[in-house]
Amino acid sequence: MSTTIALAAAELGKRYKRGWALRGCGFELPAGRVAALVGPNGAGKSTLMALATGLLTPTTGTIRIFGDQPVRSGTHPKLGFLAQDKPLFRRFTVAETLHAGRALNPTWDQAYAERLIAEAGVPTQARINTLSGGQRTRVALAVALGRRPELLMLDEPLADLDPVARDEVMQTLMAEVAETGMTVLLSSHVLAELDGVCDHLLVLAGGGVRLSGDVDDLLAEHQLLIGPSEDSAGLFPTGSVVESRSTGRQATVLVRGAAPVDRPGWVAHEPTLEELVKAYLRSAGKAKAVAEAVSA
């Protein structure tokens, strides 16, 4: 069974006037996955999405959507995108918004978009600027899904939504994934809400890919080891330690791909998704701080 790759980047870089936003990025996102794109502010998440839509052109390397390079003249027909600010014409009614969607998208499925609006319980004659944040997100999601995309990218879709609206948006999204089998790339700060949702992970920090792959595989490859500090130096093969922290007598070490540690006083756990991602983000942050200190 050959795997279709929905989104792939190779040596992808983007330089703005102030410097590199992305540099040397490489990853593959297989079709049918629900992938989390995580990283601190300024990591390059939005830049990566803008490159995929064709709004930006890469400075170096390539990005491909189902094998094709994006063009500036319009988003790839298989790609749907929900931007962070959910751009909708605020004076339009919901019905007019769908009408615009139909006019702008050759692959538009009006019945499907209308069903999503009906399920969201949003009145079609309401103007966008009278809707709540949750309702606006549901409308923007219906517009993005109305194109019948095979790859849907969402930039921080849950930011500024209340907990009930968050649930509803994720439930709708996952139900559509179940029905259509589309690929999803979802960026978020809130790791806890991605646990159980995402089966693929892409961690960006400092403009580069720190970690990418199948969530279950990544969790199984890593061990979170807790043991006596005095023992920890030299215990793990160099290169396998992702992050090592010590609080007095106790050390907490995240290692990748190392053999099981069979030594008194040490306990191994499989990390949670949140522990794994945070360890990578912290170690990327430290590496950056060290590099800046050296160059200063």
Partner 1 sequence: MIEFRIDRRSGVATYLQLVQQTKQALRLGLLQPGDRLPTAKEVVAATAINPNTVLKAYRELEREGLVEPRPGLGTFVRRSLASAGTAEDSPLRGELDAWMSRAQTAGLDREDVEALFKAVLDTRYRLGTGDHTEG
- Give the residues lining the site for partner 1 (CB under 8 A): 32-34, 167, 170-175, 177-179, 192, 195-199, 216, 272
* Residue placing its CB nearer to partner 1 in the complex, 178 or 293: 178
Of the pair 178, 294, the CB lying nearest partner 1 is at 178
- Nearby residues of 179 by Cβ (< 8 Å), 6 or more positions away: none
> From the CB of 196, what's the least distance to partner 1, in Å?
4
Q: Which is nearer to partner 1, 129 or 171 (CB)?
A: 171
10 vs 159, beta carbon nearer partner 1? 159
Nearest partner of 14 among 55, 45, 57, 53, judged by Cα: 57
Angle of CA points 204, 207, 210, to nearest 5°: 35
Question: Under DSSP, is residue 203 helix (H, G, I), strand (E, B) or coil?
Answer: strand
Q: How far is the CB of 119 from partner 1 (least distance, A)?
A: 10
Q: Token digits for 159?
A: 């930011």
What count of other Cβ atoms lies within 10 Å of the Cβ of residue 152? 26
Shortest spacing between CB 271 and partner 1, in angstroms: 10
Residue nearer to partner 1 on the CB measure, 56 or 144: 144
* Rounded CA separation 38/185 (Å): 10
CA gap 146, 149 in Å, rounded: 8
Query: Based on CB atoms, which residue is closest to partner 1, 128 or 158?
Result: 158
Closest separation between CB of residue 74 and partner 1, Å?
A: 30
CB of 69 to partner 1, least distance (A): 28
Nearest approach in angstroms of CB 216 to partner 1 is 8
Give the whole-angstrom CA distance, residue 155 versus residue 83.
Answer: 5
DSSP string, 98-158: HHHHHHH-TT--HHHHHHHHHHHT--TTSBGGGS-HHHHHHHHHHHHHHT--SEEEEESTT
